[in-house]
């Protein structure tokens, strides 16, 4: 039985061969609805464009495509650096694009990478939970997901839930009962898992969840300065902050220093530049983008040799790095320490018998 060809895709999707070719080559002029029909037909038929097959046979796929949320995100900037460093050792260049967290844009960028640029592989921070249209290219162009899992493909992630629990438990053990969850963005599975870890630790500690201590964002545009002032202006303000990502941590730390409240306890999920030189230095969950990026490209290189391998989820270990900001005690413990200090001072400075 012959493999499906471009004519079959055209017939299945009700368009011309030329239109199928434009979609396969990643041309932006195709109407989104038409593009979707063609990609669905490619997926159903298992069609592999001849250009991609030739690239595999001749070894001309000399680049890796990396598709991330945003080029401005510090986590992803470091991740791309790690991928590029390893790729260059293999003689591969790196093409970088962003999704803007838009599924349609994600599909267009992936089509451009695979069918247009004929990349040797793709590393992606997925927006959609499933990308079935990639199945047609599996044996030609390996795909590895990072930061968030992707159904039916290899993924390199961290245990967001357990890592968050480490941070929140430390706050509870230090006597904090008013703990803010800073930057809850429900678009991300990672943030949803971190929020679950936060709420579960509060519940196990018998601390009621206060919705006013949760900073919501629906489009990633949280005004960090205004939100920090809102939280600290509450009648019963938080005594500790958990920043759910590195970008939020930068915004929080900047805001606390600007208003002279840097002595407020805070822990970041993810490290960032200069976090270790601030005073106090910022404690963080060490979600190392260099380790994640390196693990992702190593797996991608393996899949180039063995594309039929069963997909796996690779969990990179994390740790809570104590630097000072996350070890500031809660009010009750501070009062106990202050009382002990005052008592000791009184004893040392009192009159001699």
Q: What is the pLDDT along the chain (353 residues), one digit of tens a residue?
A: 566 777 888 888 888 888 887 777 666 677 878 877 888 887 777 676 655 444 444 334 589 999 999 888 888 999 999 999 999 999 999 999 999 889 989 988 998 898 778 899 999 999 988 888 888 787 788 999 999 999 899 999 999 999 999 999 999 999 999 999 999 988 888 999 999 999 999 999 999 999 999 999 877 678 999 999 999 999 999 999 999 999 899 999 999 999 999 999 999 999 988 999 999 999 999 999 999 999 999 999 999 888 878 899 999 999 999 999 999 999 877 655 454 544 444 444 444 44
pLDDT at 334: 65
Cis peptide before 280 (omega within 30 of 0): yes
Q: What is the pLDDT of residue 346?
A: 44
Identify the H or E element spanning 267.
strand 265-269
Q: Look at the alpha carbons of 237, 240, 244, 245 in this order and tell me if their dihedral is positive or negative.
A: positive
Residue-level pLDDT at 347: 46
Residue 194 near residue 200 (C-beta atoms within 8 A):
no
- Which positions ≥6 away from 324 have C-beta within 8 Å? 279, 280, 281, 282, 283
What CA–CA distance (Å, rounded) separates 200 from 202? Answer: 5
Q: Cα 285 from chain centroid?
A: 13
Query: For residue 136, what pLDDT is reported?
Result: 76
Closest to 122 in 3D by CA, of 42, 187, 68, 159: 68
What pLDDT score does 61 carry?
Answer: 58
The strand pair at 265-269 and 283-285 is best described as parallel
pLDDT at res. 7 = 82
What's the pLDDT score for residue 351? Answer: 45
Which pLDDT value is given to residue 10?
85
Task: Report the first-to-last Cα separation within the chain, whole angstroms.
Answer: 105
* Spatial distance between the Cα atoms of 315 and 327, rounded to a whole number of angstroms: 27
* pLDDT number for residue 144: 96
């Amino acid at each position: 039985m012959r493999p499906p060809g471009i004519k079959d895709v055209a017939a299945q999707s009700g368009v011309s061969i030329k239109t199928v070719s434009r979609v396969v080559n990643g041309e932006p002029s195709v109407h989104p609805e038409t593009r979707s029909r063609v990609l669905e037909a490619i997926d159903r038929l298992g069609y592999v464009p001849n250009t991609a097959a030739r690239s595999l046979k001749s070894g001309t796929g000399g680049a890796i495509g990396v598709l991330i949320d945003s080029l401005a995100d510090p986590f992803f900037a470091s991740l791309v650096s790690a991928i590029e460093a390893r790729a260059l050792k293999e003689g591969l260049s790196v093409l970088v694009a962003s999704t803007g967290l838009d599924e349609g844009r994600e599909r267009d960028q992936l089509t451009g990478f695979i069918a247009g640029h004929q990349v040797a592989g793709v590393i992606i921070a997925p927006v959609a939970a499933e990308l079935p249209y990639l199945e047609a290219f599996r044996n030609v162009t390996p795909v590895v997901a990072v930061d968030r899992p992707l159904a039916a493909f290899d993924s390199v992630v961290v245990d967001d839930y357990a890592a968050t629990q480490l941070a929140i438990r430390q706050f509870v053990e230090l006597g904090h009962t008013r703990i803010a969850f800073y930057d809850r963005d429900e678009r991300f599975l990672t943030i949803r898992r971190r929020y679950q870890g936060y709420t579960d630790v509060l519940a196990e500690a018998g601390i009621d969840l206060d919705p006013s201590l949760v900073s919501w964002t629906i489009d990633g545009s949280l005004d960090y300065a205004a939100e920090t002032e809102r939280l600290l202006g509450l009648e019963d303000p938080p005594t500790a902050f958990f920043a759910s990502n590195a970008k939020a941590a930068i915004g929080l730390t900047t805001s606390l220093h600007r208003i002279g409240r840097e002595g407020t306890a805070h822990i970041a999920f993810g490290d960032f530049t200069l976090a270790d030189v601030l005073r106090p230095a910022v404690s963080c969950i060490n979600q190392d983008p260099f380790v994640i990026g390196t693990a992702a490209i190593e797996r991608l290189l393996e899949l180039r040799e063995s594309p039929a391998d069963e997909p796996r989820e690779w969990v990179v270990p994390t740790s809570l790095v104590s630097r000072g900001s996350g070890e500031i005690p809660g009010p009750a413990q501070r009062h106990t320490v202050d009382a002990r200090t005052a008592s000791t001072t009184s004893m040392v400075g009192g009159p001699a018998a």
